[in-house]
Amino acid sequence: MKELEEIRKHLQKEAVFADASRIISFDQSTVCPEEAVEEKNEIIATLEQQAFLMRRDEAFLRNVRRAYEKRETLDEWDRAMVEQLHRNDLMEQNLSTDRAYEYALIEKKAFVDWTQAKEASDFSLFRESLEKVIGINRERSALRVVAPEENWIKCTYDRLIDRYERGMNVETIDPCFAECAERLSNLLSRIRSSKKKIRTDFLSRVVPEEQQRRVTEYLMTLQGFDPKRGTYSTSEHAYTERLSPHDIRITTHIYPDSFLSNVYTVLHETGHALFDQRQPEKNNAYFLYDGKTFGMHESVSRFYENLVGRSEPFLSAIYPKLKELMPEALSDVSAKELYEAANLVQPSLIRTEADEVTYAFHIIIRYELEKAIFEEGLAVEQLPAAWNDLYEKYLGIRPGNDKEGVLQDVHWTSDFGYFPAYLLGNFYNAMYVSRMKQEIDYEGALAAGDLTAVNDWMAKNVFEKADRLSPSEWLLALTGRTVTADDFMTYLEEKYGALYQL
């Protein structure tokens, strides 16, 4: 089809602006001088505006719409590309160029305000920007065209969720999260009653940055990260960014007195990077690298962080190397003690530092707050108190200040509807790892500290079609089932039941 040829030519030109914007954004959050951070906002917004203008080009959209009408005649790759472009068209067709530019400026200003507010632990410095961000999320949702076949979208918050996890909605998520919360509460209660003592004194030992950087590079290599197609840096909030098809970068945050934070941040973010680095090369020719949902991505990153990284076989395998790289911190620590400490269950305030059991509560709290904002009228000024109340309800602890409370996450500087994906990712990976164990020597690979077979299985089964399938189609192909919290909760109950001798 002539339309397809024109579409691909156009997308190649658009990618130049999108890639440039991502490069400057990465620089802004990693190595940019403090006084120059805010001045980069207009540059980024201008580049994003140009990319938006190209997406809304009339000739381009005519080609997309014609191709979409003929989608049943296309092969798998062309059809996936056209369907994704059609989805983007529905999201943006009522959004003006000027308003899109204003969105970008609001979000960049919000990031700067959030950074300053978090540093000062003062929510008032972020409140005005947050109100504007909530406003543009409402507006963007209202402008989004809902196709007749998108019958899962029933409310404003459904529209927000669907931006990141297409096909998912409150109706599907509510019962899964409710089951998770109920079983988690029971498990946490039993753990708190356990007489098992876990040694933790060594966790706060100071590990110099240079040692932690060597650990970072060791783990990235062990996981199979390709340094010819990516690199790493440090930032306030760790993340992974695909700057272009062959430039995938991660960031970590190094705390001198919390070396395990870096270990698990790196395992998590490198998981994201592998998902992008090991996608089929053919995806790049069809511009399909953005088809993965956030839940899919989180399933992979948290698979490497938790199911692999916090397992006893894997930690025992890498223990000698970690001890070599951080000799003072681990000089008198056994592999068993490291495993137990890495899986310590202890309710805490910071989501990114949460243990594997209580992490889900952090997501459920944010999910409930977002629903309250968009469906129940929770006002911005009520957020800090509502946040603190939910932490007390679910985790029995209360933030002492805004920095460790409502200001801890960067996400609300731009987006809502993202957080459910973190917990959905846990549900997904617990479901597909069961199949992996049937097809390869999973435990043997972890015990050997060799992830080659694991990575190959993930590439063939989890990564291969992720950009071309919806989450429900992808999960059905992987497991033969729809999403459930049961596998994840069974995994936690069995693992921590043994660890805490319940």
Q: Encode pLDDT of 285-325 as tens digits.
A: 999 988 899 999 999 999 999 999 999 999 999 999 999 99
Neighbour tally for 147: CB within 10 Å: 10
Which pLDDT value is given to residue 352?
82
Distances (CA, A) of 118 to 93, 136, 402: 35, 22, 7
Distances (CA, A) of 33 to 22, 28, 30, 220, 251: 17, 8, 9, 27, 17
Give per-residue pLDDT as tens, 20-66.
Answer: 999 999 999 999 998 898 889 889 988 988 998 999 999 999 999 99
Which pLDDT value is given to residue 236?
81
> In angstroms, rounded to a whole number, what is the distance separating the alpha carbons of residues 127 and 129?
6
pLDDT above 80: residue 344: yes
Is 0.85 topped by the overall pTM? yes
Q: Are 432 and 462 in contact (CB under 8 A)?
A: yes
> In angstroms, rounded to a whole number, what is the distance separating the alpha carbons of residues 130 and 139?
14
The arithmetic mean of pLDDT across residues 102-127, rounded, is 94
Pairing mode of beta strands 230-234, 240-244: unpaired
> Among the residues of 121-258, which ranges form H helices?
124-143, 156-164, 170-193, 209-223
The arithmetic mean of pLDDT across residues 156-178, rounded, is 95
Neighbour tally for 62: CB within 10 Å: 12
Residue 192: both structure tokens together: 């708190």
pLDDT above 90: residue 155: yes
The arithmetic mean of pLDDT across residues 445-462, rounded, is 98
Mean pLDDT of the chain: 95
Name residues whose C-beta falls within 8 Å of residue 216's C-beta, 6 or more positions apart in sequence.
232, 252, 262, 266
Strand arrangement, sheet containing 230-234:
230-234, 247-252, 240-244
> In angstroms, rounded to a whole number, what is the distance separating the alpha carbons of residues 235 and 378?
31
Single out the residue of 421, 420, 438 nearest to residue 480, CA to CA.
Answer: 438
> With 0-12 CB in 10 A as exposed, 13-18 as middle and 19+ as buried, what is 396?
exposed
> Among the residues of 208-302, which ranges form H helices?
209-223, 259-277, 282-285, 294-302
What amino acid occupies position 145? V
pLDDT above 80: residue 1: no
Active-site annotation holder among 150, 269, 312, 370: 269
Domains of the chain with CATH codes: 2-145 (no CATH), 173-499 (1.10.1370.30)
Active site residue 269: yes
Helix, coil or strand: residue 251: strand
pLDDT above 80: residue 7: yes
Distances (CA, A) of 201 to 237, 309, 323, 334: 26, 21, 16, 13
Residue 382: both structure tokens together: 């009520």
